[in-house]
Structure 1
Amino acid sequence: VAKYLKDHGYRIVPVNPNISEALGESAYPDLNSIPFPVDLVDVFRNTQAAGAVVTQAIDLGIPVVWLQLGINLPDVQDLAANTATICIDKCCIKAEHHRLMK
């Protein structure tokens, strides 16, 4: 998915404490470590870790959080309620991009 988005002109910012780079981009250990504004966080974590990522994104004022298929976080909309962050779940960003660009 990340390669697809990069191939379609999007800047990818890997966030993973276990790597130093991905797809030719420097990786950061967490969202707080990114030294520039982020427009969207696409979460590829297990359900247990996803809630913390969503909370961190909301706290940082990131406008959009996208949870990939397979992440089961039923209260994600509650987490974003009364914030400026939009949370999208139950669909794949790659599939949606492909569908909209037809």
Structure 2
Amino acid sequence: MTTDTATAERVLSEATTIAVVGLSRSPAKSAHSVPAAMQSAGFRVIPVHPSADVLLGERVYRTLADVPEPVDIVDVFRPSAEAAGVARQAAEIGAKALWLQQDIVSAEARGIAAEAGIDYVEDQCIAVVRALAGITR
């Protein structure tokens, strides 16, 4: 089940800060190029990675709980099986939205987000939605 476009566009239009769980070190991977495109469009991108120190010129945090500022969107570049755990962490930090990238789907994460009152988008590329809607910061 993909999220409707209107919800995805609303979530993006209301956001400025995106914590990216699974931001890749490799520029060849979409988990690097997509957050880089969001950063270029003016969004504040906060990398969350277990071992990197700096990605996209930003300090990297090990977990969402370590991020010291409010997060609008938690953008997930991890396998579907890990999405529910990320959803729980997103709820714990008070994120406004959980966004699962293209091909990532999790009924459990959707339920956790709904219970926490967090907007939920799944199986959509955040950079494609941003580009099609013309949303910049």
Same-fold call, TM cutoff 0.5: yes
Give, in whole Å, the separation in 2 of the partners of 1:32 and 1:43: 15
Give, in whole Å, the separation in 1 of the partners of 2:106 and 2:117: 19
CA RMSD of aligned residues (A): 1.4
Q: Which has the higher contact order (CA 8 A, sep 6+)?
A: 2
Count of residues in correspondence between the two structures? 102
Give, in whole Å, the separation in 2 of the partners of 1:76 and 1:53: 8
- Number of the residue aligned with 1:95: 128
Q: Deviations over 1:18-76 (max 9, x none)?
A: 10110000000000001111111110111122211111101221101100012121233
- Number of the residue aligned with 1:84: 117
1:41 to 61, 66, 74: 74
Give, in whole Å, the separation in 2 of the partners of 1:75 and 1:48: 9
- SS of the aligned residue for 1:14 comes to strand
Larger deviation, residues 53-62 vs 67-76:
67-76
TM-score (norm 2): 0.70
**Amino acid in structure 2 at the alignment position of 1:50:** A
**Amino acid in structure 2 at the alignment position of 1:36:** E
Are residue 7 (structure 1) and residue 40 (structure 2) matched? yes
5+ residue gaps, structure 2: 1-33
TM-score (norm 1): 0.92
Q: Percent identity?
A: 32
Decide whether the 8 Å contact of 1:61 with 1:84 is kept in 2. Answer: no
From the superposition, tell whether residues 31 and 51 of structure 1 become closer, same or farther in structure 2 (CA, over 3 Å): same
**Which has the larger helix fraction?**
2
2:105 to 58, 72, 79: 72
- SS of the aligned residue for 2:90 comes to helix
Structure 1 runs, 4 residues or longer, greater than 4 Å off: none
Larger deviation, residues 74-83 vs 30-39:
74-83
